[in-house]
Structure 1
Amino acid sequence: MRGLAGHLACQVLCVAPAVMGPEPREPAVPLLGHCSRVGWVGGALGARASVRVRQDGEETAADGYAVLTARVISALEELPALLGAADAGRPVRIPLWGPWSLCLDDLLIARMVEIAVHDDDLAVSVGVSVPGFPERAVDTVFVLLTRLAWRRHGTAAVLRALTRAERAPASIAAF
């Protein structure tokens, strides 16, 4: 669970360095293009990209819960001013991705998806209810996840899963 908590924290902790860092020279790709490029999508748990994600989470949380919590709270306190002054279309990059960047808005949407997914993972792991999210955030997360599921499984599968249980496929998982 420590690694999962660390990975979840990384979704907040990575934003300020990405925004405050130099503008990347790598090409910016659309959000769906980013999702099709990252190594962990569709990868096995033992795949290099998946192992690296888990290791980074473990390292981020290595100093314990109290330190990790303090780091996230501090980052959350600084983000409104930082993001308020930033250009939403500015390219940003997280080095773990690969040789591409995203616009800031797309980076934030990707972080929202990660937070929603891993909040659920962590809640299930510790036996608590999944925290609620603002409707606007849920809308944003569901739009991306639905588009990814549609791209992966096709129109009929997603439509049936959402409307016709008797004809629904076993899964329309986005990843």
Structure 2
Amino acid sequence: MNEKRDLFLSTAEVYLDYLERPAVAAKWTEPSALDEFTVAGLAGHTSSQITSAAAALAAEGDERPGKDLFDHYAQAAWATTGIDSEANTGIRDSGENLAAAGHKELCATTREALEQVRTALPSAPADSRGATSTWDYTLPLDDYLVTRTVELVVHGDDLAHSLPADPPAYPQAAYDLTFHVLTRLAAARHGNSALIGALARSERAPGTVAAF
């Protein structure tokens, strides 16, 4: 396998070990660090990064048109609309639904999905495509796994802040990949100069360079 596939698997394993902690179960029905998300819903949404990868690998003959990684982010409705938009309420509802059976069941479902990915991924062709069921396009499989890895890193941190507890200890390569994607998105949103100022010149840093 290549580096992106290996990194997704190792990042997903760290997340799943974190999800299985009793501290997550103890906070299950409480509000999370994200507006309008319970801890359960946030955990469900984060786990869906693994279950959606399993579903993508099981799909055959996807005829949806292709996009590249940063086109995906540029047009993603959840990234360009408020938390009450249809896209974002749908994400929250989906996360809550996936977690509705409880902490133990979500852990088992996610563990099963990860094993399916671990089995299927080594033999997936280099030109494979990947997507979630709600998208009207696909990405190259390895880029699709990049989006899943970034989601696991970002939402794993959200989950840690919801407990609160130390964040998952993801591989440094997962953080490096996430920084690369978020930096590109922040520069596209705010401009290269704003990002340089924020990172290197505190005296002229803008109020925010958030990627989303």
The answer to whether residue 118 in structure 2 is matched with residue 118 in structure 1 is no
> Structure 2 counterpart of 1:11, which letter?
Q
Query: Does the aligned pair in 2 maintain the 1:28–1:101 contact within 8 Å?
Result: yes
Q: Distance in 2 between matches of 1:14 and 1:171?
A: 32
Gaps of 5+ in 1: none
Q: Deviations over 1:70-115 (max 9, x none)?
A: 1111222232221111124312221222x11111111100011111
Query: Does the aligned pair in 1 maintain the 2:54–2:114 contact within 8 Å?
Result: no
Structure-2 residue corresponding to 1:12: 50
> Structure 1 counterpart of 2:119, which letter?
A
TM, length-normalised to structure 2: 0.79
> Structure 2 counterpart of 1:59, which letter?
N
The answer to whether residue 205 in structure 2 is matched with residue 164 in structure 1 is no
Q: Considering Cα pairs closer than 8 Å and 6+ residues apart, tell me whether 1 or 2 has the greater RCO.
A: 2
Please say which of residues 59-68 and 79-88 is displaced more in the overlay: 79-88
TM, length-normalised to structure 1: 0.95
Structure-1 residue corresponding to 2:171: 134
Q: Report the CA distance between 1:159 and its aligned residue.
A: 0.7
> Structure 1 counterpart of 2:44, which letter?
G
Q: Structure 2 residue aligned with 1:47, among 82, 85, 98? A: 85
1:23-172 to 2 correspondences below 5 Å: 23-97=61-135, 99-172=136-209
Q: Distance in 1 between matches of 2:125 and 2:202?
A: 43
Q: Distance in 1 between matches of 2:107 and 2:118?
A: 18
Q: Let me know the Cα RMSD of the aligned residues.
A: 1.1
Q: Report the CA distance between 1:2 and its aligned residue.
A: 1.0
Q: Distance in 2 between matches of 1:108 and 1:88?
A: 13
Gaps of 5+ in 2: 1-38
Q: Distance in 1 between matches of 2:131 and 2:157?
A: 26
The number of aligned residues is 174
Q: Report the CA distance between 1:124 and its aligned residue.
A: 0.5
Q: Report the CA distance between 1:150 and its aligned residue.
A: 0.8
Q: Distance in 2 between matches of 1:24 and 1:75?
A: 20
Q: Distance in 1 between matches of 2:164 and 2:129?
A: 39
Q: Provide closer, same or farther for how the CA distance between residues 27 and 154 of structure 1 changes in structure 2, counting only shifts above 3 A.
A: same
% of aligned pairs identical?
Answer: 39
> Structure 1 counterpart of 2:167, which letter?
V
Q: Deviations over 1:123-170 (max 9, x none)?
A: 111110111211111111111111111111111011111111111111
> Structure 2 counterpart of 1:33, which letter?
D
SS at match of 1:28: coil
Q: Distance in 2 between matches of 1:83 and 1:49?
A: 29
Q: Distance in 2 between matches of 1:132 and 1:160?
A: 29
Please say which of residues 131-140 and 46-55 is displaced more in the overlay: 131-140
Please say which of residues 82-91 and 40-49 is displaced more in the overlay: 82-91
Q: Distance in 2 between matches of 1:132 and 1:67?
A: 23
